[in-house]
Amino acid sequence: MSISASAVAAFTSAYGEEPAGLWAAPGRVNLIGEHTDYNDGFVLPFALPQRTVAAVGPSPDGTFAVCSTLAPEPVTFGITEPGEVTGWGAYVAGVVWALREAGFEPPAVRIAIDSEVPLGSGLSSSAALESSVLTALIDLGGLDVPLERRPAIAQRAENLYVGAPTGILDQSASIRCEAGKALFLDCRSYEIEQIPFDLAAAGLAILVINSNAPHQHVDGEYGARRKSCEESAAILGVTALRDVGVDDLPGALDRLGDEVLRKRTRHIVTENQRVLDTVALLRAGQVREIGPLLTASHASMRDDFEITVDQVDVAVSTALAAGAYGARMTGGGFGGCVLALIDAARADETAAAVAAAYAERGFTAPTSWVAVAGPGATKL
Ligand code: ADP
Ligand code: MG
């Protein structure tokens, strides 16, 4: 059964009628630009073919109801403030709250969710959930919310209602990505540019390898990285590390006495430049040539930002040994996924090599698939 069909089935079984419509929003991978979003920097995500589907219909009694094939309990709520709905339902109640906060009146609805986006693997199932619900509420309510305002509304739901301090990357990707394109996003101005990303035409593919490594200490480590970046920016007298260019880096590093701050700063500054370089190459149609930038990004995350774990390092080195043009961890770190730029014909071979390397080390088996850049949130 497709996820659309199972979302409809979940809706009819929960609420005893057909939904008014279906809305879908994708998970994402970030091609390059990690932890740069909250430094006012650059990111370059593309939308995954895996999506979250929301089957939605009007509520008969003015309350909201939501159930998910991936959650044991349905959730109901009315007009709420942050803290009143907790757990997975907070992502949905948060979107309703954030829309109202932004001055819009979403209609009361009943929702059934199904998803192909793995939860908690760094592929942004949370933004896919928020974006599918947000798009449904906007369409069903006939709300005049311009596309460019939508990511920030979904982000406020996650930051202020759920309480997860994420940047604007995930929601922008899930809402604004286009098929066959990577989304070049300036996280300071929120300006976007759709960058051609047609791998098949170049005989290439991106293999996504989910390390399936258990996430550990993610929240604490994420908070610590943000704090280091803010501290460094304060010492350097800039608004954000985005304001330090690669040419200024040696001088900036001299002024940061602390070795940890130096490493964190070096990652952010060089990573922003790698995003710009990647965009320039893609604009010029030089897709294969981005490989070394991906690999350099991984080394920077491993050695300077210190957010990788053995499983992702092994996936990267194994993919490279199997002939990948470049490979890197994608997502916030401490587990999650790796992406490898490969010849399209070598996908199975590369996936098998990584699986064998994991088996040899006794790691939980990885899950791999070829990801083609898909569309952003939409009514189906
Ligand atoms: P990621 O966004 O990387 O997948 P997060 O921790 O940010 O990881 O978000 C995962 C959380 O989002 C889940 O624990 C759950 O609360 C919620 N979530 C996402 N998708 C769904 C879904 N389809 N059904 C229920 N809850 C979901
Ligand atoms: Mg998330």
DSSP 159: I
CA separation, residue 70 to residues 7, 199, 223 (Å): 11, 32, 28
Residue 336 CA, closest ligand 1 atom number: 3
Q: Which tens digit of pLDDT belongs to each residue from 299-328?
A: 999 999 999 999 999 999 999 999 999 999
Note the ligand closest to the C-alpha atom of 169. Answer: 2
Contact, 343 vs 288, CB < 8 A? Answer: no
Q: Which tens digit of pLDDT belongs to each residue from 320-339?
A: 999 999 999 999 899 999 99
Cα distance between residue 143 and residue 177, in whole Å: 21
- Is residue 148's pLDDT more than 90? yes
Note the ligand closest to the C-alpha atom of 74. Answer: 1
Contact, 23 vs 136, CB < 8 A? Answer: yes
In this prediction, residue 220 has a pLDDT band, given cuts at 50, 70 and 90, of: confident
- Is residue 135's pLDDT more than 80? yes
Type of residue at 16: G
Residue 90 CA, closest ligand 1 atom number: 16
Note the ligand closest to the C-alpha atom of 88. Answer: 1
What's the helix, strand, coil split of the chain in %, to 5?
45, 20, 35
Residue 124 CA, closest ligand 1 atom number: 2
Identify the CA nearest to 339 among candidates 330, 348, 349, 351.
330
Residue 123 CA, closest ligand 1 atom number: 3
Cα distance between residue 309 and residue 377, in whole Å: 32
- For residue 220, the number of C-alpha atoms closer than 13 Å in the C-beta half-sphere is 3
Angle at 11 between CA 374 and CA 76, to 5 degrees: 105
pLDDT of residue 217: 67
What is the residue with the minimal CA distance to atom 6 of ligand 1?
120
pLDDT of residue 215: 75
**Mean pLDDT within 7-29:** 97
Characterize the bridge pairing of strands 109-115 and 45-58. Answer: antiparallel
- Is residue 212's pLDDT more than 80? yes
Q: What is the pTM of this model?
A: 0.93
Q: What ranges in the chain are assigned the alpha helix state H?
A: 3-15, 89-101, 125-141, 150-156, 169-176, 218-236, 249-255, 259-283, 291-303, 310-321, 347-361
CB burial string 167-185: b at 16+ within 10 A, e below: bbbbbbbbbbbbebbbbbb
CA of residue 6 to ligand 2 center, whole Å: 23
Q: Ligand 1 pocket check: which of 73, 129, 159, 330 to mutate, most ligand atoms within 8 Å of Cβ?
A: 129
Q: Ligand 1 pocket check: which of 4, 56, 125 to mutate, most ligand atoms within 8 Å of Cβ?
A: 125
Pocket around ligand 1 at a 6 A CB cut-off: 52, 68, 70-71, 88, 91, 113, 115, 119-126, 129
Cα distance between residue 380 and residue 377, in whole Å: 9
**Could you give the residue numbers annotated as active site?**
170
